[in-house]
């Protein structure tokens, strides 16, 4: 009888975290962002002028994330770079331009209008530009990041 009690107690202790997690999951509520609810902050990893909003998760950590990037009015360029993870990109508004390769060449790019979707594999060398205010959404499994092919292009390396 004593052994049964020990086994039952051990099972209860082992299963308790799963039961608590399930209960919390069932209490979970939907996360909703209306357009006016999105909080934009300066984007540090790309040239000045762009804004970023984290909608879900943390792109710098393990797990799913969703972010939006708002590019400013006028010509805006991101030099050739790669990402350590696959990114899924949707153009929300404006036009987003992308070119493949190690050298920035606007004549070798493609225009993605609002509503377009693109999957960017990890390690793909590419460059980006916009010519007017544009908003994109990036979804992926982190950790994410940006690695410039030329370290001198990285705004995080700029002396302050």
**CATH number of residue 71's parent domain:** 2.60.120.10
49, part of any domain: yes
Evaluate whether residue 11 is within a structural domain. no
Query: Which structural domain, as residue segments, surrounds residue 77?
Result: 35-157
Domain assignment present for residue 51? The answer is yes
On whether residue 17 sits in a domain, the answer given is no
Q: Confirm whether 132 is domain-assigned.
A: yes
CA distance 84 to 10: 42
**Within-domain flag for 20:** no
| Residue position matching structure tokens 């608590």 | 20
Band (pLDDT 50/70/90 cuts) for residue 158 is confident
The pLDDT tens digits of the residues spanning 60-79 come to: 999 999 999 999 999 999 99
pTM (2 d.p.): 0.80
Is the residue at 21 inside a domain?
A: no
Residue 96 to residue 112: CA distance in whole angstroms: 5
Residue 50 has pLDDT above 70, yes or no: yes
| Residue 60, in any domain of the structure | yes
Per the structure, how many domains does the chain have? 1
CA distance 61 to 59: 6
């Amino acid at each position: 009888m004593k052994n049964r009690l020990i086994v039952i107690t051990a099972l209860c202790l082992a299963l308790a975290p799963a039961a608590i997690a399930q209960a919390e999951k069932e209490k979970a509520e939907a996360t909703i962002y209306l357009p006016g609810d999105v909080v934009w902050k300066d984007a540090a990893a790309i040239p000045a002028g762009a804004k970023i909003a984290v909608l879900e998760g943390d792109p710098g950590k393990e797990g799913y994330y969703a972010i939006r990037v708002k590019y400013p009015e006028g010509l805006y360029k991101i030099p050739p770079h790669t990402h350590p993870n696959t990114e899924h990109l949707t153009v929300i508004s404006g036009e987003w331009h992308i070119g493949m390769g190690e050298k920035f060449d606007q004549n070798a790019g493609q225009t993605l209008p609002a509503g377009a979707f693109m999957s960017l594999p990890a390690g793909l060398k590419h460059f980006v530009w916009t010519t007017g205010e544009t908003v994109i959404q990036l979804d992926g499994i982190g950790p994410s990041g940006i690695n410039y092919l030329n370290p001198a292009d990285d705004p995080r390396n700029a002396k302050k």
